[in-house]
């Protein structure tokens, strides 16, 4: 085995990735690398009638790449019209995609916060930057594209004319606050949900100065929003979906650009009440408790589907039946007592500090089992917003798939068997496409490896692996390490070959940056990229 590991660590592809690091590239935006034969012909490209399993699990960032690979009427850039790929996705990325789904949805998540308000005839407005549009929309509505009657959305474009948000850490927060301020003046909106994206987005970039500016920008906008709520008599609820920059460093001192396991804040600043002390909250809870709490504030009954409980222990004697509520999500704002490597405490945050000191507050679990994920795992924006809106714990797809692997049903999955047996019968290639990471919100090599084992069991040949890499929550230059692990597994099973590696920046877009997606497409189909 030592010999095999040595071979993998010194493979041409891994050496190519390490050479790119030396030239200043990093995992997230690594230019596509393509394996070629001695004559220079690209190996393992997606060809006519081939079978593809896209094993990513999140979905919203996988739609665009899937569309260009399977839709004959795709028009955003030139594609092969006769590719006719036989396509499987791990979960349903979108109901509009004509693919087989290995783990389809287990059914609609009924009576989310938005749906309850709609049934009660209460208007709901959602405001966010485009970077977080999917989270306050699709995920907060129970992973549904449905916009309920009475629900409106304002999406402020995130900055487009910058190569990195590190150059503009304030992003579009001021414009988001402007929209909030405007709508707080309109009494027809009894419930508003808004998201300030900066801390999460900048927390994924290894730039401490920019991350600190992001925290301080969010606090600055929070100050404006507090004053507007005080003036208008609005009940302000401040929380987050997960942590990031409050744990900026790993134990070895390297930068952590991922999410964390830490709790997030919950503050109830009721500017509609004469005595803010009249509210009494539980000291601890979890994200799923937020929706039931908001329903109490709005005077609405909790539906039976919402199994979580309100954080409110005691309400004012005189309830305000027409209370107006703003839920403000400080995306990525976690709470951690230790100050070392804590950019939340290092930054100047007088407005948040004032809220936390003077209003009823709680700490909410935002990771692991509390958000439907495996125990002791970090939170993420998708699970966070899903639970904020659902008011109950939702078992995430990752857990379902992990359990299927453990119990063996994964290896009897109809979609996987269709793809692998079809490739074998039709004498076509099988392609395994997806993120290579120990634990990304998009997927894991722990799902890729069972697919390789199933291909071995069914004697499927050839099998090609197309690896997407990206450092979010990973240590520097981890892409090469994960590609090495995949190559080791292929060697040990004597099945499969890694033929593509590229940064997730190109393949996993969600804002119609078609020039990025085209670069990924042309690497996968035509073999364009750095040839190895």
Does residue 478 share a domain with residue 520? Answer: yes
pLDDT score of 3: 40
Phi-psi region of 308 (alpha: psi -120 to 50; beta: other; left: phi over 0): beta
Domain boundary among 352, 378, 393: 393
CA 9 to chain centre: 30
Does residue 252 share a domain with residue 272? Answer: yes
Does residue 244 share a domain with residue 182? Answer: yes
Does residue 197 share a domain with residue 279? Answer: yes
Does residue 457 share a domain with residue 353? Answer: no
pLDDT score of 1: 35
**Domain CATH code at residue 465:** 3.40.1450
- Check whether 14 has a pLDDT greater than 90: yes
- Check whether 501 has a pLDDT greater than 50: yes
Is 383 contained in some domain?
yes
d(CA 390, CA 384): 10
**Domain CATH code at residue 273:** 3.40.720.10
Q: Where residue 4 falls among pLDDT bands split at 50, 70, 90?
A: very low
* In the chain, % of residues over pLDDT 90: 82
Q: Where residue 273 falls among pLDDT bands split at 50, 70, 90?
A: low
Q: Where residue 58 falls among pLDDT bands split at 50, 70, 90?
A: confident
Structural domain count of the chain: 2
Does residue 365 share a domain with residue 323? Answer: yes
Does residue 312 share a domain with residue 341? Answer: yes
Average of per-residue pLDDT values in the chain: 93
278: Cβ contacts below 8 Å, ≥ 6 apart: 314, 315, 316, 317
Domain boundary among 393, 424, 454: 393
Domain boundary among 371, 393, 415: 393
Residue-range definition of the domain harbouring residue 436: 2-104+399-531
Phi-psi region of 274 (alpha: psi -120 to 50; beta: other; left: phi over 0): alpha
d(CA 374, CA 67): 30
- Check whether 464 has a pLDDT greater than 80: yes
CB 346, CB 214: distance < 8 Å: no
Does residue 368 share a domain with residue 389? Answer: yes
pLDDT tens sequence across 439-462? 777 889 999 999 999 999 999 999
d(CA 27, CA 17): 9
Q: Where residue 415 falls among pLDDT bands split at 50, 70, 90?
A: very high
Is 162 contained in some domain?
no
pLDDT score of 470: 82
pLDDT score of 530: 95
Does residue 97 share a domain with residue 25? Answer: yes
Query: Tokens 């402007």 — which residue?
Result: 178
77: Cβ contacts below 8 Å, ≥ 6 apart: 68, 514, 515, 517, 518, 521
CA atoms within a 13 Å half-sphere pointing along the CA-CB vector of 140: 32
Length reported for the chain: 532
């Amino acid at each position: 085995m030592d010999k095999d590991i040595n071979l993998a660590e010194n493979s041409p592809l891994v050496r190519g990735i390490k050479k790119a690091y030396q030239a200043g590239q990093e995992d997230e935006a690594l230019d596509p690398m393509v394996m070629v034969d001695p004559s220079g012909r690209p190996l393992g490209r997606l060809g006519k009638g081939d079978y593809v399993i896209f094993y990513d699990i999140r979905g919203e960032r996988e739609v665009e790449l899937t569309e260009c690979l399977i839709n004959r009427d795709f028009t955003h850039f030139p594609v092969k019209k006769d590719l006719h790929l036989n396509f499987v996705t791990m979960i349903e990325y979108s109901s509009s995609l004509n693919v087989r789904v290995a783990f389809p949805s287990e059914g609609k998540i009924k009576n989310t916060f938005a749906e309850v308000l709609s049934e009660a005839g209460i208007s709901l407005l959602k405001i966010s930057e485009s970077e977080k549009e999917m989270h306050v929309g699709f995920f907060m509505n129970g992973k549904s594209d449905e916009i309920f009657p009475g629900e409106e959305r304002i999406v402020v474009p995130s900055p487009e004319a910058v190569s990195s948000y590190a150059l503009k850490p304030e992003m579009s927060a001021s414009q988001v606050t402007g929209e909030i301020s405007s709508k707080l003046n309109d009494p027809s909106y009894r419930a508003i949900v808004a998201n300030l994206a900066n801390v999460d987005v900048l927390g994924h970039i290894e730039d401490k100065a920019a991350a600190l500016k992001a925290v301080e920008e969010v606090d600055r906008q929070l100050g404006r929003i507090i004053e507007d709520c005080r003036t208008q008599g609005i009940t302000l609820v401040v929380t987050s979906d997960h942590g990031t920059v409050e744990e900026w460093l790993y134990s070895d001192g390297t930068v952590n650009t991922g999410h964390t396991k830490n709790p997030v804040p919950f503050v109830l600043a009721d500017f509609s009440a004469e005595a803010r002390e009249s509210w009494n909250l539980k000291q601890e809870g979890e994200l799923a408790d937020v929706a039931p709490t908001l329903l109490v504030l709005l005077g609405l009954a909790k539906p039976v589907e919402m199994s979580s409980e309100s954080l409110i222990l005691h309400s004012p004697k005189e309830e305000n039946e027409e209370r107006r509520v703003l839920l403000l999500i400080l995306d990525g704002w976690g709470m951690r007592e230790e100050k070392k490597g804590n950019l939340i405490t290092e930054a100047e945050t007088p407005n948040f500090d004032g809220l936390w000191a003077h209003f009823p507050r709680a700490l909410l679990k935002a990771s692991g089992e509390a958000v439907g994920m495996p125990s002791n795992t970090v939170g993420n924006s998708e699970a966070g917003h899903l639970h904020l809106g659902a008011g109950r714990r939702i078992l995430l797809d990752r857990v379902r798939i992990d359990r299927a692997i453990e119990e063996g049903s994964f290896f009897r999955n109809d979609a996987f068997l269709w793809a692998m047996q079809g490739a074998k019968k039709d004498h076509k290639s099988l392609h395994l496409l997806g993120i290579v990471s120990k634990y990304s919100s998009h997927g894991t090599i722990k799902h890729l490896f069972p697919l390789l084992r199933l291909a071995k069991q069914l004697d499927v040949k050839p099998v090609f692996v197309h690896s997407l890499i990206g450092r979010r929550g990973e240590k520097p230059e981890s892409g090469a390490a994960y590609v090495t692990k995949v190559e080791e597994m292929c060697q040990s099973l004597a099945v499969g070959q890694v033929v593509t590696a590229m940064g997730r920046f190109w393949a996993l877009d969600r804002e119609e940056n078609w020039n990025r997606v085209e670069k990924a497409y042309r690497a996968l189909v035509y073999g364009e990229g750095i040839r190895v």
